[in-house]
A and B are shown apart, each in its own frame.
Chain A
Amino acid sequence: AQSVTQLGSHVSVSEGALVLLRCNYSSSVPPYLFWYVQYPNQGLQLLLKYTTGATLVKGINGFEAEFKKSETSFHLTKPSAHMSDAAEYFCAVTAGTASKLTFGTGTRLQVTL
C-alpha cells in the first residue's frame, strides 16, 4: 500500500519569504512522487515529479523538491513567495504497478503582503 501525509493543512507566508510545504510518503517499493497545484475552481496542474535519477527536482514557477529516501520525504520549496502562488498544493505518490495516484489531503498556501 502507498500513502502520503502532508503536514499542515494551511501555511501562511509573507511575499518574498521562503515557501516550505511538507510531504512524507509510505511505500513498500520505490515510489514516484508528484506535486500538483490547484487554483480555485480549476483542475490540478503538475508542478514537478520525481521518478528516478537526480533527487533534486526542479519544476515550474520556481518550485523545487528533494526526494530523501532516508527520511521518506518529498518537501516542496520555493525561495521567494509571490502573491500568485496562493493556491492549494497536493503531494501524490504512485508505486509499483498501482497505476493510480494516492493524494495527500492538501496544503492551502496563503501569501500575505
Chain B
Amino acid sequence: GAGVSQSPSNKVTEKGKDVELRCDPISGHTALYWYRQSLGQGLEFLIYFQGNSAPDKSGLPSDRFSAERTGGSVSTLTIQRTQQEDSAVYLCASSYGLLESGETQYFGPGTRLLVL
C-alpha cells in the first residue's frame, strides 16, 4: 500500500518568509510524528500527534514552529519567519498505535528545506 508521503520534496525560501510542510500518513495510522535531520544536530524529535491532539510538542525549537493535524490524517508543519539555521530535512513518520505499544514508525522521504 501507499507509504507516508511528504510535500514538497524540496523547498528553497528566503530568510524571513513562512513555509508550510505537509505530511500524509499511512491510511489508518493514528499516530504521526515530525523529526528534523540536520548536519549539526542529527535526528531530532519535534512533535507527535495522537489523532488531532499533540500530547508532546517538547521538541519544537521555538515559537516560530507550529504544527497541526486535521481529520486524524494530514499534518502541516509551519515555520514562520524562517532563519538559516532552520535549513534541514524535515521527516514525517506515522504508526498504527503508539511506540510504547511496540508499534513501528514508518518514515516519509522528507522535505529538504534550504533557507537563503
Which A residues lie at the B interface, using CB under 8 A?
Answer: 32, 34, 36, 41-46, 49, 51-52, 90, 92, 94, 96-106
Contacts and interface: CB of A to CB of B under 8 A. Distances in A.
Interface stretch (B11-19, B67-75, B79-87, B97-105): B97-105
A104 B56 CA distance: 20
Contact of A51 (B42, B102, B106): B102
Contacts, number: 59
A100 B91 contact: no
Interface of B: 4, 31, 33, 35, 42-43, 45, 48, 50, 55-56, 59, 91, 93, 98-100, 102, 104-110
A100 B107 contact: no
Contacts of B107: 36, 43-45
